[in-house]
Amino acid sequence: MADPSSELSALLGCAPPPSVAALPADTLDRLASQLTAARRAQDVALEGSINSALKAVPLPLRGVVKKVLLG
Those residues with Cβ within 8 angstroms of residue 56's Cβ, 6 or more apart along the chain or in another chain = none
Site residues (vs other proteins, CB under 8 A): 11-14, 16-20, 23-24, 27, 30-31, 34-35, 37-39, 41-43, 45-46, 49-50, 52-53, 56-58, 61, 64-65, 68-71
Which CB, 3 or 51, lies closer to other proteins? 51
CA distances to 2, 44, 52, 62 from 13, rounded to whole Å, are 16, 22, 31, 36
Handedness of CA 13, 19, 39, 62 (dihedral sign): negative
Which CB, 3 or 12, lies closer to other proteins? 12
Which CB, 1 or 56, lies closer to other proteins? 56
